[in-house]
């Protein structure tokens, strides 16, 4: 049965969304498509990626520079749709692939920051830099970047319509989940963090509303606005990162040299929050945060953390003994003994003793009963709520700890009121 040639040209469009994305990513070098002919990517013997798809249709204006042509070509691959959300940092639009309208994307247009007079905002630079490099099922994928003519940056991101983990945690009236669901979500989060660290990237802003949910239930780590590469020895880093409730004690004490352990602490606090369905240590300010850590986990001292008292801003409100296993079992018992063990290891006060992301993946909890829920069976909110939430999450200024405090905390307090 012969198909019309008109139909066959769009055959790739009938693939699943994810497959489309993969094709896109594999050929995402328009340079290669433009430099026609040459069969090899480079002389070092590395194979050339899959062939470029047919050109997008219209021929490009010959008056453009090569760089502009390539930009136009990227831009034309997508059609911008309705606005999902707008903030001071970015506007988020729904969009779709021109060649395959069923393949939806989110287009995040970063606004020019008037108050920042030093050019492109550092958070946009960081976000782009790291998303360009990290491709993993549990990390939001950057499908394309292009500039619109008013010199705004447009990030084409995969469309994640089911909101974020925060809204599932908060909606205690309508959303029910259990130990197997927590295990599945934690597995996805841990793999995302492991992959970042494996690529020498610190995320530095892990929290439930940065964990977005794809249509198939897969959790994706988003918002790399505070990320950075691992620093070389002796090059210090800022300690003013990670939203306060998820910030580890070493950063609260002003450590300038730190490691992937800072992210692992955040993962631990998200783990606890998934179980309690409320933030575990919601401090009102930094001192309060330290106090809560001392009360909930134990006071950092030279005994449990050699050297801690020499950190630049070490202050503790009083001496609390380190909490024992029984104490954790009482509060977090629903994830079982093995789950509690993993939680305790992520919340180790001493970052050198804290479990690493790789060790986390090797922990026995993943193999103990119950098995993690399959991602299609995970609890979810409906798509309309999720879409708005995605708009809200993506438009947010990355890692703005101060901003976060004004708006979001009020909302959270109201949430608690309902319980």
Partner 1 sequence: MATEDERYRQSSQFRLWSFSPTSLRELRNKTNDLAKQQIAPRFAADAQPEFLTPGEESTLVQFFTTELIRAAQFCELPTEIRSTAAVFFRRFYITNSVMTYPPTELLKTSLFFGCKAEGYYIRLAKLAEMFPNTTSEQILAGEFLLCQGIRFAFDVRHPFRALEGAILELRKRLPEEEGRIAKAHAMARDILKFSPLLTDAYFHYTPSQIMMASLLMVDKELVEILIPAGSRTGEDGDKHMGSNAEMREKIIRTIESCRSMMEKEPPQRMKEYWETPELVKSLKPLRKKLQKCRDTDRADLVALQRARREQATTKVKKPTGTVQSDGAVFGEAVDARDVKRRKLEGANDLFGPPL
- Residue 132 lies near partner 1 (rule: CB under 8 A): yes
Nearest to 72 by CA among 54, 55, 60, 81: 60
- Residue 119 lies near partner 1 (rule: CB under 8 A): yes
Contact present, 154 and 77 (Cβ < 8 Å): no
Instruction: Tell me how far CA of residue 417 lies from CA of 167, 172, 278, 412, 413, in angstroms.
Output: 15, 12, 12, 9, 6
Residue selected from 18, 86, 113, 122 as contacting partner 1 according to rule CB under 8 A: 122
- Residue 57 lies near partner 1 (rule: CB under 8 A): no
- Residue 385 lies near partner 1 (rule: CB under 8 A): no
Give the binding range for partner 1 (CB under 8 A) out of 3-11, 31-39, 180-188, 387-395: 31-39
- Residue 10 lies near partner 1 (rule: CB under 8 A): no
Nearest CB to partner 1, comparing residues 8 and 147: 147
Nearest CB to partner 1, comparing residues 236 and 413: 236
Nearest to 20 by CA among 81, 78, 80: 78
- Residue 115 lies near partner 1 (rule: CB under 8 A): no
Tokens for 198, please give them: 């494996």
Contact present, 124 and 107 (Cβ < 8 Å): no
Give the binding range for partner 1 (CB under 8 A) out of 22-30, 171-179, 214-222, 320-328: 22-30
Contact present, 379 and 175 (Cβ < 8 Å): yes
Return the residues of window 222-241 that contact partner 1 according to CB under 8 A: 228-229, 232
3-state class (DSSP) for residue 201: strand
- Residue 59 lies near partner 1 (rule: CB under 8 A): no
List of residues 6+ apart from 392 with CB closer than 8 A: 85, 87
Q: Catalytic: 393?
A: no
Task: Count CB-CB contacts under 10 A for residue 296.
Answer: 17
Q: Which long-range contacts (CB under 8 A, 24 or more apart) does 78-83 make?
A: 78/105, 78/107, 78/144, 78/156, 80/107, 83/391
Return the residues of window 149-168 that contact partner 1 according to CB under 8 A: 149-151, 153
Nearest CB to partner 1, comparing residues 75 and 397: 75
**Residue 88 annotated as part of some ligand binding site:** yes
Return the residues of window 60-79 that contact partner 1 according to CB under 8 A: 61-68, 70-72, 75-76, 79
Tokens for 337, please give them: 């003994």
Nearest CB to partner 1, comparing residues 230 and 327: 230
- Residue 45 lies near partner 1 (rule: CB under 8 A): yes
Q: Which of 205, 223, 263, 341 is catalytic?
A: 205
- Evaluate the CA torsion angle 173, 372, 274, 227 in order and state its sign: negative
- Residue 40 lies near partner 1 (rule: CB under 8 A): yes
Q: Which residues are annotated as a binding site for ATP?
A: 84-92, 108-109
List residues with catalytic annotation.
205
Q: Which residues bind partner 1 (CB under 8 A)?
A: 28-32, 34-46, 49, 61-68, 70-72, 75-76, 79-80, 117-120, 122, 125-126, 128-130, 132-133, 135, 145, 147-151, 153, 199, 228-229, 232
């Amino acid at each position: 049965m012969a198909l019309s040639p008109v139909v066959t040209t769009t055959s790739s469009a009938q693939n699943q969304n994810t497959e489309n994305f993969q094709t896109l990513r594999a050929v995402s070098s328009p340079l290669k498509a433009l430099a026609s002919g040459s069969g090899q990517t480079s002389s070092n013997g590395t194979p050339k990626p899959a062939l470029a798809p047919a050109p997008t249709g219209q021929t490009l204006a010959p008056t453009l520079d090569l760089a502009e042509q390539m930009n136009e070509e990227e831009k034309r691959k997508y059609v911008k749709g309705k606005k999902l959300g707008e903030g001071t940092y970015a506007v988020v639009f729904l969009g779709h692939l021109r060649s395959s309208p069923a393949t939806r994307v989110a287009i995040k247009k970063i606004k020019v920051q008037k108050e920042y007079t030093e050019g492109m905002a550092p958070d946009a630079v960081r976000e782009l830099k790291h998303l360009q490099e990290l491709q993993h099922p549990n990390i939001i994928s950057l499908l394309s970047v292009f500039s619109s003519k008013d010199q705004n940056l447009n990030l084409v991101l995969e469309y994640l319509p089911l909101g974020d983990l925060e809204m599932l945690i908060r909606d205690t009236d309508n959303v029910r989940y259990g130990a197997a669901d927590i295990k599945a979500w934690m597995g996805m989060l841990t793999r995302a963090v492991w992959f970042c660290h494996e690529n020498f990237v610190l995320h530095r802003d892990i929290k439930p509303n940065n964990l977005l949910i794809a249509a198939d239930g897969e959790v994706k780590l988003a918002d790399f606005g505070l990320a950075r590469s691992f620093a070389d020895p002796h090059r210090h880093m800022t300690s003013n990162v990670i939203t306060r409730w998820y910030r580890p004690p070493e950063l609260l004490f002003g450590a300038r040299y730190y490691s992937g352990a800072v992210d692992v602490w955040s993962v631990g606090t998200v783990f606890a929050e998934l179980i309690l369905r409320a933030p575990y240590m919601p401090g009102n300010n930094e001192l309060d945060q330290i106090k809560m850590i001392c009360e909930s986990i134990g006071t950092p001292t030279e005994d449990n953390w050699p050297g801690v008292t020499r950190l630049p801003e070490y202050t503790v409100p009083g001496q609390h003994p380190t909490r024992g296993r029984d104490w954790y079992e009482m509060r977090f018992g629903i994830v079982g003994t093995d789950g509690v063990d993993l939680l305790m290891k992520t919340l180790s006060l001493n970052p050198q003793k804290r479990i690493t992301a790789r060790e986390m993946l090797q922990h026995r909890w993943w193999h103990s009963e119950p098995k993690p829920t399959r991602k299609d069976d995970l609890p979810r909110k409906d798509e309309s709520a999720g879409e708005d939430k995605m708009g809200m999450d993506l438009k947010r200024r990355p890692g703005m700890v101060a901003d976060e405090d004004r708006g979001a905390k009020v909302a959270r307090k109201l949430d608690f009121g309902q319980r």
